[in-house]
Structure 1
Amino acid sequence: MGFQTPQHTLDRYLDWTVNGTIQLPDFQRGYKWDDERIRQLLVTILRGHPMGVVMLLDTDNDEVRFKPRPVEGVDIHQSVEPSHLLLDGQQRLTSLTQALTGDGVVETKDSRGKLMARKYFVNIERALAGEDCIDESVISVDADGKIKTNFNRDIVLDLSSEEAQRHHGYFPLNLLLKPSESQSWMMHYMMLNQEDATRFHAEVLTPAQRYSIPAIELDGNTSKAAVATVFEKVNTGGLELNVFELLTATFAGDGDYYAEHGTDFRLNENWRETQESFAAHPVLQDLESTDFLKAATLLATRKRHLADTRTRAAAVSARSEDVLRLTLSDYLEWLEPLRNAFIWAAGFMADRHIFDTKFLPYRSQLIPLAAIKVVMADDANLRGPHSRLIQWFWCGILGELYGGTTDTRFVRDLMMVPAWALGTENASLPTTVQDAQFVESRLHSLRTRNAAAYKGIYALLLANEARDWMEDKRLDLFQHRELAVDIHHIFPKKWCFDHNIDDEHRESIINKSAISAKTNRTIGGRAPSHYLDLVERNGQISSTTLDNVLESHLIPAGALRSNDFAAFFAERRERVCVMVEGAMGKQVQRDISRGYAVEDSAQFDSVVIAETTTENAVEDEVTVHGGTGR
Structure 2
Amino acid sequence: MTPHVSTFETAEPALLELLTHIHTGKAQLPDFQRGWVWDDNHIRSLIASVSRSFPIGAVMTMAVGENVRFRPRHFEGADEAKGKQPEVLVLDGQQRLTSMYLSLFSKGPVKTQTEKKQEIFRYYYLDIAKCLDPTEDRFDAVVSIPETKKLTSDFGRRIDLDLSTREHEYEQGMYPLPAIFDPAAHMEWTNGYKLHHQHEQTKTQLIDQFNMEIWLPFQQYKVPVIRLTKETPKEAVCQVFEAVNTGGVSLSVFELLTATFASDNFHLRDDWESKKKTLYDIPALKGVDESSYLTAITLLTSYQKQQSTNSAVSCKRKDVLNLSLSEYQENSILIIKGLKDAAQLLAKEKIFDIKTIPYQTQMIPLSAICAFLGQKLQNDTIKSKIMQWYWCGVLGELYGGANETRYALDITGVLSWLNGGEIPATIRDANFSPLRLLTLQSRLSAAYKGLMALLMKKGGCDFVNGDPVDIQTYFDQAIDIHHIFPKAYCEKQKYRRELWNSVINKAPLSSRTNRVIGGYKPSTYIESIQKQEKISPDRLDEIFLSHLIDPGKIRSDDFAGFIEHRAGELLTIIEQAMGKTISGRDSEEYLREIKRIQ
Pair in the same fold by TM > 0.5: yes
Per-residue deviation, 1:336: 1.1
Pick one of 254, 258, 263 that aligns with 1:244.
254
Distance, in Å, in 2 between the alignment partners of 1:360 and 1:454 is 10
Whether 1:450 and 2:460 are equivalent positions in the alignment is: no
2:522 is aligned to 528
1:473 is aligned to 467
1:287 is aligned to 288
Assess if the C-alpha contact under 8 Å between 1:4 and 1:217 holds in 2.
no
Corresponding residue SS for 2:315: coil
* 1:584–1:215 Cα change, 3 Å: closer
Output the TM-score relative to the length of structure 1. 0.55
Per-residue deviation, 1:335: 1.5
Assess if the C-alpha contact under 8 Å between 1:3 and 1:217 holds in 2.
no
Assess if the C-alpha contact under 8 Å between 1:282 and 1:357 holds in 2.
yes
Alignment of 1:122-137 (within 5 A): none
* 1:238–1:557 Cα change, 3 Å: farther
* 1:247–1:215 Cα change, 3 Å: closer
Pick one of 365, 373, 387 that aligns with 1:390.
387
Per-residue deviation, 1:301: 1.6
Alignment of 1:9-408 (within 5 A): 233-234=247-248, 237-238=249-250, 242-254=252-264, 264-308=265-309, 313-408=310-405
1:596 is aligned to 589
**Residue identity matched to 2:274:** E
Alignment of 1:562-601 (within 5 A): 562-591=556-585, 593-596=586-589
2:531 is aligned to 537
Gaps of 5+ in 2: 1-48, 50-54, 59-238
**Residue identity matched to 1:355:** F
Distance, in Å, in 2 between the alignment partners of 1:567 and 1:600 is 13
Assess if the C-alpha contact under 8 Å between 2:283 and 2:352 holds in 1.
yes
Per-residue deviation, 1:358: 0.6
Whether 1:508 and 2:512 are equivalent positions in the alignment is: no
1:184 is aligned to none
2:205 is aligned to none
Corresponding residue SS for 1:532: helix
2:113 is aligned to none
Distance, in Å, in 1 between the alignment partners of 2:534 and 2:580 is 41
Per-residue deviation, 1:598: 12
Identity over the aligned pairs, expressed in percent? 36
**Residue identity matched to 1:249:** A
Per-residue deviation, 1:600: 9.5
* 1:283–1:301 Cα change, 3 Å: same
Assess if the C-alpha contact under 8 Å between 2:466 and 2:543 holds in 1.
no
Per-residue CA deviations over 1:241-284 (Å, capped at 9, x if unaligned) read: x1000000100102xxxxxxxxx211111001111111321000
**Residue identity matched to 2:512:** K
Per-residue deviation, 1:465: 1.3
**Residue identity matched to 2:259:** A
* 1:385–1:551 Cα change, 3 Å: same
Distance, in Å, in 1 between the alignment partners of 2:593 and 2:530 is 38
Per-residue deviation, 1:564: 1.0
Assess if the C-alpha contact under 8 Å between 1:400 and 1:452 holds in 2.
yes
Assess if the C-alpha contact under 8 Å between 1:489 and 1:513 holds in 2.
yes
Assess if the C-alpha contact under 8 Å between 1:439 and 1:599 holds in 2.
no
1:517 is aligned to 511
Whether 1:483 and 2:493 are equivalent positions in the alignment is: no
Per-residue deviation, 1:306: 2.5
How many residues end up aligned between the 2 structures? 362
**Residue identity matched to 1:284:** L
2:25 is aligned to none
* 1:346–1:216 Cα change, 3 Å: closer
Which has the higher Rg, Structure 1 or Structure 2?
A: 2
**Residue identity matched to 2:363:** L
Distance, in Å, in 1 between the alignment partners of 2:326 and 2:429 is 36
Distance, in Å, in 2 between the alignment partners of 1:327 and 1:454 is 40
Output the TM-score relative to the length of structure 2. 0.58
Distance, in Å, in 2 between the alignment partners of 1:214 and 1:278 is 33
* 1:269–1:365 Cα change, 3 Å: same
Gaps of 5+ in 1: 6-212, 219-228, 255-263, 602-630
Alpha-carbon RMSD: 2.7
